[in-house]
Structure 1
Amino acid sequence: MGSNMAEAHPVGFQWVMEAKARGAQVVHIDPRFTRTSAVADRHVPLRAGTDIAFLGGVINYILSGELDFREYVTTYTNASFILSEGYRDTEDLDGLFSGYDPDTASYDPATWHYESSDDGGRGGPADKQQGAPTQLGSGGAPIEGGAGDIPNDPTLQHPRCVYQVLKRHYARYTPEMVERVCGVPAETFGRIARAWTQNSGRERTAALVYSVGWTQHSTGAQFIRAGSIIQLLLGNIGRPGGGIFALRGHAGIQGSTDVPTLFNLLPGYLAMPQAGQETLSDYLEKITSRNQKGFWHQADTYMVSLLKEYWGEHARPDNDFCFDYLPRINGDHGTYRTVLDMIDGTVFGYFLLGQIPAVGSAHGRLQRLGMANLDWLVVRDLVMIESATFWKDAPEIETGEISPQTCRTEVFFFPAASHVEKAGTFTQTQRMLQWREKAVEPPGDARSDLWFFYHLGR
């Protein structure tokens, strides 16, 4: 869903075709008929943006028929955990969750917690923890307390257990609703839901693939969350042949988090140090907790390994592994904050590489107005893109918000080299860094980004 894997990820798709040759069913659910559709066992077209209703229908199909992999669900998910008495779902509050404040149009999540086994209760304002927006890579706020502290019902019959709350919430997503919203006939939807459940469970697993068609959608997070619920209910997470495969549209998207190039991440999704974190201990105290599991439980080991990789023999325990060499961030320096700062007149220049915010980012008008308020803009791309020509052909020229005669931004366009015209590392779908040699020389004045910044620095 949300993917044209055959064309966008042909190397990975060869294994889909190998699985199909061995008897696997391939179903492509997408508004368009693409090459992926052509080789799938079934193509199911649906209205663009309605994936959430289709997925909700599958969840309802599983829960209403109790077709979940029960042993897996009770052992490896939170389905049996009991929610606090104060929690109310949308079914109880006419479409709203508990904690909504109409004056601020925001939620207080104080009731969105599990019931506590201790006398003091759990989940009040004093216990609420939030991760800083600039520490997205840190896995969020640590979850205090283990699963053993949370009352649960292994039979999944308690009216406030997660399973029953989920069941009530998704009861509205009937095949008839799916047909009305998605345009998928109820009979077709039923066949897909049956195939998904019948190919899951103790003896079989099913994989869900999505790409940027989901990631970049305005409700993409809900799409992905709903897909995760399905795969967890059917026992398709963490088992051979199952899982959710997030295929990026371009290696740069993968590399931005793994290499990384995002302002708030170090390699491996480790958070960037914040201003005020003077020592390695200060940093680790903010991103780890004794109750965290998996990767983040070993964050200290990963961080020390990274520092040793950076500084080699100079990174030693007696100098905090050269932690003080790392820069610090002091707030949100992401794309949208930067655009707002452009409009406010506190950002005067901008380097633009490998993206087209004028037409490719959320709120294109805001992006164009921000770029129109710069002193200078450097654009490096393969062709003359809209972000380099917005000053003369943006829609805001017709409305009078941007004038070619008075636009203050001086645009410098530099032709860039494509991925086959430069040597360097490449992060592929499996998240392995590979070295690629230059295949051909870039034409004319085109140069690689590395060449550009090296000579700019000189």
Structure 2
Amino acid sequence: MGTSFGRGGATQSLQDMANADCIVIQGSNMAECHPVGFQWVTEAKARGARVIHVDPRFTRTSAVSDKHLPIRAGSDIVLLGALINHVLSNDLWFHEYVLHYTNAATLISEDFEDAEDLDGIFSGYDPETGAYHLKSWGYQTEDEGQGERADEKRNQGHEERAQAGGQQYGSGGAPVGSGTPVRDETLQHPRTVFQILKRHFSRYTPEMVRETCGISEEDFDYLARSVTENSGRERTTCFAYAVGWTQHTLGAQFIRTASILQLLLGNMGRPGGGIMALRGHATIQGSTDIPTLFNLLPGYLPMPSVTAQSFSEYVDGIRTTSQKGYWANAEAYSVNLLKAWWGDAATAENDWAYDYIPRINGAHGTYQTLMSMLK
């Protein structure tokens, strides 16, 4: 979610689910585990919305849904990928929305290579560490040098926090530099995000869904028609997930794939659309929103690193001045937080009392600390 939208929280309120024309609940037993929020699903259904439950088990959510699609545990990405392929292959994507409100027209770096080019892995893979270097995944920019310098500045202190694997910035993916991205409004250039998506997801077919997920082609067609017929200019579809996705080894990929699908269909930022992340507030959601994680301040702001000695260095490590999107306003978010804590004592002259905040120089979470003690 953070990679797609700038922060890792739900994209709408629970109440807004009542405005959806179709609701797909996947990786969640919402009726039983989030019964208060489920009232809005019930209201949507009373309005005529179609509710589909995709889950390995038949639960109380399945019982009150229009259809239950049993799926093999862990195969969700194949089902979601096939929906994306269906949308792209049949020209069912929301053209105006995708062109104006997504990065579909943006060109990716010439150095990027997809999984089909490298026998199942992407460019930037380091076999020694088992991790990816993300430089080749970035946008092609008109002023490449500026983008690279911005990336370096944004990554100040990254090494100290790399082991944490937390939710700094509530996001992920390749850093967005300050260079001006190159775009092809026709979407025909082979290195546009749109064309890369088409090539990558073409492998996910209804036949693969049947073989991998255990969902028949007829049931896949029902799901695909339900989602696409209830998306577009006049209608919206909502996806809802819980720990059936987030706690899976491929959870981040499941959520990212659902985000791509919803953007292609124009279901983000519109009444009844979005992706509802269902969580236990005092535990999962609370750890980031309150926050209780060592590497976060409220609002997904990162905890300052020892390398960020001034407020300006801290803010510049989060965003660049020409960057668009949620984190372009990082300075305002940070000042608001510091003023909320220290009021009139936080002024521009004293860096908004930035020096009152402690710094981190490594992975100081409970798990990492315990593992270090056991060594």
For normalisation by structure 1, the TM-score amounts to 0.69
Corresponding residue number in structure 1 for 2:207 = 176
Structure 1 residues 21 and 113, CA, compared in 2 at 3 Å: closer, same or farther? Answer: same
Task: Write the distance in 2 (CA, Å) between the matches of 1:93 and 1:56.
Answer: 20
Corresponding residue number in structure 1 for 2:98 = 73
1:198-232 deviations in Å (ceiling 9; x for gaps): 10011111001011111111100000000001001
1:197 to 222, 225, 228: 228
Do structure 1's residue 97 and structure 2's residue 122 form an aligned pair?
yes
Corresponding residue number in structure 1 for 2:370 = 339
1:108-145 deviations in Å (ceiling 9; x for gaps): 43432333335x68977996664723684235675223
Quote how far apart the aligned CAs of 1:309 are. Answer: 2.1
C-alpha contact 1:316 1:322 (8 A) present in aligned 2: yes
Do structure 1's residue 216 and structure 2's residue 247 form an aligned pair?
yes
Task: Write the distance in 2 (CA, Å) between the matches of 1:125 and 1:94.
Answer: 32
Corresponding residue number in structure 2 for 1:33 = 58
Corresponding residue number in structure 2 for 1:435 = none
Corresponding residue number in structure 2 for 1:82 = 107
Aligned length: 341
Tell me which moved more, 325-334 or 17-26. Answer: 325-334
Matches within 5 A, 1:109-120: 109-118=134-143
Structure 1 residues 190 and 125, CA, compared in 2 at 3 Å: closer, same or farther? Answer: farther
Task: Write the distance in 1 (CA, Å) between the matches of 2:145 and 2:307.
Answer: 33
Do structure 1's residue 51 and structure 2's residue 76 form an aligned pair?
yes
Matches within 5 A, 1:294-373: 294-344=325-375
Corresponding residue number in structure 2 for 1:263 = 294
Corresponding residue number in structure 1 for 2:5 = none
Structure 1 residues 332 and 317, CA, compared in 2 at 3 Å: closer, same or farther? Answer: same
The gaps in structure 1 that reach 5 residues or longer are: 345-458
Structure 1 residues 183 and 227, CA, compared in 2 at 3 Å: closer, same or farther? Answer: same
Structure 1 residues 301 and 105, CA, compared in 2 at 3 Å: closer, same or farther? Answer: closer
Do structure 1's residue 281 and structure 2's residue 306 form an aligned pair?
no
Tell me which moved more, 86-95 or 24-33. Answer: 86-95
Corresponding residue number in structure 1 for 2:177 = 144
Which letter does structure 1 place at the counterpart of 2:123? S
Identity of aligned residues (%): 59
1:293 to 286, 307, 324: 324
C-alpha contact 2:146 2:177 (8 A) present in aligned 1: no
Matches within 5 A, 1:426-441: none
C-alpha contact 2:146 2:178 (8 A) present in aligned 1: no
Task: Write the distance in 2 (CA, Å) between the matches of 1:59 and 1:258.
Answer: 31
Structure 1 residues 125 and 105, CA, compared in 2 at 3 Å: closer, same or farther? Answer: farther
Quote how far apart the aligned CAs of 1:152 are. Answer: 2.4
The gaps in structure 2 that reach 5 residues or longer are: 1-25
Which letter does structure 1 place at the counterpart of 2:291? P
Structure 1 residues 96 and 122, CA, compared in 2 at 3 Å: closer, same or farther? Answer: farther
Task: Write the distance in 2 (CA, Å) between the matches of 1:122 and 1:321.
Answer: 28
1 or 2 for the larger relative contact order (CA 8 Å, sep ≥6)? 2
Structure 1 residues 92 and 76, CA, compared in 2 at 3 Å: closer, same or farther? Answer: same
